[in-house]
Amino acid sequence: MTAYISGLCGGMLIGLSAAILMLANGRVAGVSGILGRLLQGLHTATGAAFVAGLVVGPIVFRLLSGEWPEVVLAASWPVVVIGGLLVGYGSRMGSGCTSGHGVVGLARLSRRSMAAVATFMIAAVGTVYLMGFFV
């Protein structure tokens, strides 16, 4: 039950973050988009500031709660590398990830983002289901 409440509150903070970036800078809080533009040398100052904030966020959590958030990454190293390559390539090709399409796109009622979210959800659920037979 408490996990659901902190999930909801954490989600609301993520939504607040996206609202601030849109209302202040007029930009979509899409992490893959921001990272991609940083790689291309575009919007480097604001992009770097957003990324630095992302890293500082969990440290603020540590200061407030007294503990680090739980992170359990059970995947083997080859799976981590292949998954990382696919996440990087796919998010650039599909013009967004869970934040850009999921949090901002859905909130803007973008049909493009709805199609993207439905696609990556189905692909991810299918992948986890199939991997369950091998582990």
Partner 1 sequence: MSKSAGFRVAAAFVSGTIFGLGLALSGMLNPARVRGFLDVARDWDPTLAFVLGGAVAVSAIGMSLARWIRKPLLDERFHLPETQLIDRRLIVGSAIFGVGWGMVGLCPGPAVASLSLGLPATILFLAAMFAGMAAHDHRLGVGLWGRAS
**Contact (Cβ atoms closer than 8 angstroms) between residue 29 and residue 99:** yes
Query: Does residue 135 bind partner 1 (CB under 8 A)?
Result: no
Q: Report in angstroms how near the CB of residue 64 gets to partner 1 at its nearest.
A: 8
Q: Report in angstroms how near the CB of residue 108 gets to partner 1 at its nearest.
A: 5
Q: Report in angstroms how near the CB of residue 5 gets to partner 1 at its nearest.
A: 8
Tell me how far apart the alpha carbons of residues 78 and 131 are, in angstroms, rounded to a whole number. 14
Q: Report in angstroms how near the CB of residue 42 gets to partner 1 at its nearest.
A: 10
Q: Between the CA of residue 113 and those of 10, 30, 66, 109, 121, what are the distances in Å?
A: 22, 12, 37, 8, 12
Query: Does residue 1 bind partner 1 (CB under 8 A)?
Result: no
Question: Which are the contacts of 101, defined by CB distance < 8 A and separation ≥ 6?
Answer: 30, 94, 95, 110, 112, 113, 116, 117, 120
Query: Does residue 129 bind partner 1 (CB under 8 A)?
Result: yes
Q: Give the binding-site size for partner 1 (rule: CB under 8 A).
A: 106
x/- site string to partner 1, residues 41 to 70, per CB under 8 A? x---xxx-xxxxxxxxxxxxxx-----xxx
Rg (CA), the chain: 16
Footprint (CB under 8 A) of partner 1, residues 78-117:
79-95, 97-99, 101-104, 106-108, 110-112, 115-117
